């Protein structure tokens, strides 16, 4: 089955690579319209997935990722329209020059070819990846989690309907419907046809892909994110940022998991933190020094364990650690972080610059919530993933991250001497 899908995707990628932007945008517009026109069908399918997920006892974080509402579906449709409005990178000249030997040399952006995307309980990812791949002329083979089977099937059907309406092959966007995990392993070995693997899921999925793929893998999406509050930051400005980073949508990878507080302000700041966290139903997990202060507050607080500092809570739980300096905060981030998104809250320009230079994460913020690490927020329209590695892309992956380039040389009957 996978061999046939791979062959079909590769053939479709050749056609997509030559497809004009107007045709691709027409298909994307139809997808956005169909998401609205067929919303009842999609939401009914999602309700079936939700009922099955609840029956299986899946966590609240997974249920939140899985859930579609009319508002979320409308946002997904609008995100597709944003992709339509973005400049098509394919065919653009990156740079060029005329060499001393007379060869006119240019670099042009071209599609990667065929993408293999493996993801878990997030039906919006189906649309995000499919539309960004379509815009950049890439074919894609999707393998969503079994939790989203009904929702994904409804979405893939409308995507292929849109492709057919504009004369593009339906095999440009395919989905592996069988939940058997053996097909993940088969996809990871399909290097004859697939050019890149993008896993969106937890550490187990990332590890599986890195260890078993014969295809280049983009890793990321695991967000053990930190905020460091130094001694110069005013409390009233800091607390709304921390609350936003923790509670706006706790199940996302750009949610803060650990708050690092400078020891000089810990005694006065942590009681205020306890109150506001209690007001927002956040449970605190504190190191020894922080626990001694927080246990007299109103928030629920427990001693933090080492493994909890290395994990995504994906819930209303927050680690609190006291540090003696910016340098020790950076050391903590290097030891426990995932190179996703980290922030400093400060009124010191010197501290801000030092933190930005020392923290080696895909996104680093000064006096801003970590929740901004998102393709839509970054003006990319959407994202296929948030890469925490350095090659071939880093941070939210938008259109350009789904392209590569080729060298093109123009000569006037030129030969090498």
Q: How many helices (H) and strands (E) does the chain have?
A: 14, 16
pLDDT of residue 65 exceeding 90, the answer is no
User: Tell me, what DSSP letter sits at residue 37?
Assistant: H
Say what the pLDDT of residue 368 is.
Answer: 98
**Do the beta carbons of residue 254 and residue 340 sit within 8 Å?**
yes
Mean pLDDT of the chain: 96
The string of pLDDT tens digits covering residues 363-380 is 999 999 999 999 889 988
Which of these ranges, 2-11, 194-203, 300-309, has the smallest mean pLDDT? 194-203
Is the peptide bond between 308 and the residue preceding it cis, with omega within 30 degrees of 0?
Answer: no
- Burial tier of 26 (Cβ tally within 10 Å: 0-12, 13-18, 19+): middle
**pLDDT score at 3:** 96
pLDDT surpasses 80 at 381: no
User: Can you give the pLDDT at residue 121?
Assistant: 81
Q: Tell me, what's the pLDDT at 382?
A: 79
Q: Which residues pair with 95 in a beta bridge?
A: 107
Closest CA to 265 of 239, 226, 302, 303: 239
CB-based contact 104:411 (threshold 8 Å): yes
The strand pairing partners of 390, in sequence order, are none
Task: Return the SS3 of 87.
Answer: coil
Q: Give the mean model confidence (pLDDT) for residues 95-124.
A: 95
What's the pLDDT score for residue 17? Answer: 96
Instruction: Report whether 364 contacts 355 (CB < 8 A).
Output: yes
Q: What is the pLDDT of residues 131-162, one digit of tens each?
A: 999 999 999 999 999 999 999 999 999 999 99
pLDDT at 306: 97
pLDDT at 60: 86
* CA 270, 273, 277, 279 torsion-angle sign: positive
Residue 162 φ/ψ region, left for φ over 0, alpha for ψ in the -120 to 50 degree band, beta for the rest: alpha
- In DSSP notation, 117-183 reads EEE-S-HHHHHHHHHHHHHTT-EEEEE--GGGHHHHHHHHHHHHHHHHHTT--GGGEEE-----THH
Quick: pLDDT tens for 327-336.
Answer: 999 999 999 9
Number of Cβ within 10 Å of residue 359's Cβ equals 22
Determine the average pLDDT of the residues in 350-362. Answer: 98
């Amino acid at each position: 089955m996978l061999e046939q899908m791979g062959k079909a995707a590769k053939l479709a990628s050749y056609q997509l690579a030559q497809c004009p932007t107007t045709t691709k945008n027409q298909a994307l517009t139809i997808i956005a319209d169909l998401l609205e026109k067929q919303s009842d069908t999609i939401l009914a399918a999602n309700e079936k997935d939700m009922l099955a997920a609840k029956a299986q006892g899946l966590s609240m974080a997974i249920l939140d990722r899985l859930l579609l509402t009319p508002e979320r579906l409308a946002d997904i449709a609008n995100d597709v329209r944003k992709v339509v409005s973005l400049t098509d990178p394919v065919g653009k000249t990156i740079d060029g020059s005329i060499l001393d030997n007379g060869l006119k040399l240019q670099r042009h952006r071209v599609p990667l070819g065929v993408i293999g995307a493996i993801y878990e309980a997030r039906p919006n990812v189906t649309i995000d990846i499919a539309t960004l791949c379509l815009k950049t002329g890439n074919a894609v083979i999707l393998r969503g989690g079994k939790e989203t089977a009904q929702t994904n099937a409804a979405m893939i059907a409308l995507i292929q309907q849109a492709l057919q309406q504009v004369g593009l092959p339906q095999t440009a966007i395919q989905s592996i419907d069988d939940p058997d995990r053996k097909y993940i392993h088969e996809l990871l070995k399909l290097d004859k046809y697939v050019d890149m693997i993008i896993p969106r899921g937890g550490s187990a999925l990332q590890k599986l892909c890195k260890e078993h793929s014969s295809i280049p893998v983009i890793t990321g999406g695991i967000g053990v994110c930190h905020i460091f509050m130094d001694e110069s930051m005013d409390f009233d400005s800091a607390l709304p940022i921390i609350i936003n980073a923790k509670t706006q949508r706790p199940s996302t990878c750009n949610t803060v998991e650990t708050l690092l507080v400078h020891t000089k302000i810990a005694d006065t700041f942590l009681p205020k933190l306890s109150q506001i966290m209690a007001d927002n139903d956040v449970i605190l997990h504190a190191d020894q020094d922080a626990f001694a202060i927080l246990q007299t507050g109103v928030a629920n607080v427990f001693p933090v364990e080492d493994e909890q500092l290395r994990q995504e809570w994906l819930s209303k739980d927050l680690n609190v650690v006291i540090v003696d300096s910016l340098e020790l905060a950076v050391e903590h981030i290097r030891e426990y972080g995932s190179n996703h998104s980290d922030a400093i809250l400060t009124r010191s320009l010197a501290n801000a610059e030092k933190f930005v230079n020392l923290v080696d994460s895909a996104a680093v913020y000064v006096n801003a919530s970590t929740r901004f690490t998102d393709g839509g927020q970054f003006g990319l329209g959407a994202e296929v993933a948030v890469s925490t590695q350095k090659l071939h892309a880093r941070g939210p992956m938008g259109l350009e991250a789904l392209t590569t380039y080729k060298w093109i040389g123009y000569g006037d009957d030129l030969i090498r001497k």
